[in-house]
Chain A
Amino acid sequence: MNNVFVYCEIEGTTVVDVSLELLSKGRKLANTLGVQLECICAGKGLDGIEKQVFPYGVDKVHVFDAEGLFPYTTNPHASLVVNLFKEEQPQICLLGATVIGRDLGPRISSAMHSGLTADCTELEIDSFEMSIGGVKKFYENQLCQIRPAFGGNIVATIVNPEHRPQMATVREGVMKKEIVDPNYKGEVVKHDVAKYVPETEYVVKVLERHVEKAKHNLKGAPIVVAGGYGMGSKENFDMLFELAKELHAEVGASRAAVDAGFVDHDRQIGQTGVTVRPKVYIAFGISGQIQHLAGMQDSGIIISVNSDPEAPINAIADYVINGTVEEVLPKMIKYYKANNK
């Protein structure tokens, strides 16, 4: 009772990365609270699924294995989570801020009448005094859900002290995936799906489904070279791809560069794109608006190439190169080729 729950998203029979990241975070929250970490795995052909999640410190896996649970459709998954939550009364529930998590989370929050905070960047436990509806109370061990708000210019801490579970979604790559113990052993509970999901809930049929593996590995790349609106053109981006090839790096972009059509949308870094934390991040013609920084500020070494010495990104850069991308980019390629023997 009152444990920390993670809804694990499953593609085929594999638990996706964002869920493993959430298990890592969930483990820490559970430790702070002195409770257990539980997770839900719902799909088809899930024998042995627990092996994927135990190393992250899961104490109990709720397995729902039945025809009709993969591919995901809203109602059956919502129904099993809601009915399980009525029994288990979790205090926290975390979901990925993925298409599935953002389809399912609000459905659960509506049914449970509990608050849901979207796209959190940090989750912490804290105790505090707060006045709700004119009544001041001391609330112990609450989940503080921190999310960028209003286009990222402010960061809001959201709490829901009077309702359970406290629900939050988190984007992929925001939390760190950490194995606690490769031999960690928890309990497996195989549920009778029919008890949780009435036949009438299977209302949506998936006629066709097409999923492609990501075309790049931006998230895991040790070096990221990113271009912004200051790149000026698609042609200049070709130069960036050339540099990336030399450096074995991946190419990222700001939203302004994506909007300008310089590069594909799936390379956008930031609050509404991918979060990266490479060893080296080189920003070309990126001003460094807060929404962009949200996706790369934890990078190891940050190098900024910008014609404006006052560009905000320079404030968080280790190296600032005052110059245009047209000048600097070819020189970087040239001197890298010359010196990397």
Chain B
Amino acid sequence: MSLKIVVLAKQVPDTRNVGPDAMTPQGTINRAALPAVFNPEDLNALEQALRLKDQFPGSTISVLTMGLPKSAEVVREALYRGADCGYVVTDRPLGGADTLATSYTLAQAVKKIGDYDIILGGRQAIDGDTAQVGPQIAEKLGLTQVTYAEEILKLDEQARKVVIRRHIDGGVETVEAPLPLVVTVNGSAAPCRPRNAKRIMKFKNATAVAERKPEDADKYAALIAKKPYLDIPQWGAADIDADPAQIGKAGSPTNVKAVKNIVFKAKESRTLSASDADIEGLIKELLDGKIIG
């Protein structure tokens, strides 16, 4: 049996490396100062997909991303690592989406991809950190979900059932769930295999329309005519039959009312040195005050 696998991958600003220049003097985020990366847990999800493909040859892995035109970078990255194809959903009216509008849009795109047995995503994205998109997509597609997955242990093709080990608070559990299914994969799952040199050669010129400079149009047209897989399909709101009321800002129930910079008020503090006298003095003071001891 072969499986139809969809992997959700988001391009995110690398919030793990927030430097001093990550904020503008006005207190807004300087996105330009942060490199855009493949959301880490989405790579864990991709690895689970690749393992399924190893196990069930002939399976196909489609990567789906929504974001700015340059988010096609994550599709290319996934192709280098073994995905079969990818789709970029990008369009002005999709901007400003909260998780609900994001999940609606992605669910519409999944429907357009059509045939799927299992949809894998990361547990959460490192910029919003909400972990909401996976379960919301599952709800919108009428599927059940397994979140915080650590490993797909077994997939029974006849019974169309999957056994998954997942993280829970204070422990682990093993669950059995029916296909089709949405699975979100935890960072504690196996890391993703590296890029494959042959695949880099094959896909390095794969692009989505919005990424191509107008002056290169002919060059790409010629390339794609010979190798159609170098065209990464790009969809806008209309292509996925999206209801304008449910996408972008309009489709987002949450509104940001205020954003404030964190400034901590300095306390009146006492400064000590590392000398024996200072440390002993402090310990005695804390003991005398019954603060410790």
Contact = CB atoms under 8 A, between A and B. Distances in A.
A259 B144 CA distance: 33
A210 B173 contact: yes
A223 B290 CA distance: 12
Contacts of B113: none
B176 interface: yes
Interface stretch (B36-44, B68-76, B189-197, B276-284): B276-284
Nearest to B246: A113
Contact of A207 (B138, B176, B249): B176
Nearest to B167: A99
A223 B171 contact: no
A301 interface: yes
A205 B176 CA distance: 5
A46 to B, nearest CB: 19
Contact of A163 (B18, B253, B270, B276): B253
A339 B147 contact: no
A337 B84 CA distance: 64
Interface in A111-148: 111, 113-119, 128, 130, 132-133, 144
B264 A315 contact: yes
Interface string A303-327: 1000001001011111111111001
B169 interface: yes
B257 A340 contact: no
B121 to A, nearest CB: 12
B256 A109 contact: no
Contacts of A75: 144
Interface string A268-288: 000010000001100000000
Of A102, A150, A279, A331, chain B has the most CB atoms within 10 Å of the CB of A150
A320 B272 contact: yes
A301 B274 contact: no
A324 to B, nearest CB: 7
B62 interface: no
A98 interface: yes
Given A71-B173, A74-B145, A272 B129 contact: yes
Interface residues of A, number: 89
A109 B100 contact: yes
Interface string A80-108: 00000000000000000011101111110
A318 B270 contact: yes
Given A107-B135, A321-B274, A208 B173 contact: yes
B136 A328 contact: no
B166 to A, nearest CB: 8
Nearest to B16: A151
B258 to A, nearest CB: 4
Contacts of B210: none
Interface in A194-230: 203-214, 223
A154 interface: yes
A115 B272 contact: no
Contacts of B249: 133
Contacts of A110: 100, 103, 135-136, 139-140
Nearest to B250: A133
Interface string B18-49: 10001100010100000000000000000000
A152 interface: yes
B273 interface: yes
Contacts of B167: 99
A81 B183 CA distance: 22
Contacts of A144: 257
Interface of B: 15-16, 18, 22-23, 27, 29, 98-100, 103, 126-136, 138-140, 144-148, 163, 167-178, 249-250, 252-262, 264-267, 269-274, 276, 278-280, 282-284, 286-287, 291-293
27 contacts: A74-B147, A106-B131, A110-B139, A111-B139, A115-B98, A115-B253, A118-B130, A118-B132, A130-B255, A150-B15, A151-B16, A156-B258, A157-B259, A157-B260, A161-B255, A205-B176, A207-B174, A208-B173, A209-B172, A211-B168, A272-B129, A303-B282, A317-B267, A320-B270, A321-B274, A328-B279, A335-B280
Interface of A: 71, 73-75, 78, 98-100, 102-107, 109-111, 113-119, 128, 130, 132-133, 144, 149-163, 203-214, 223, 247, 272, 279-280, 290, 293, 297, 301-303, 309, 312, 314-324, 327-328, 331-332, 335-336, 338-340
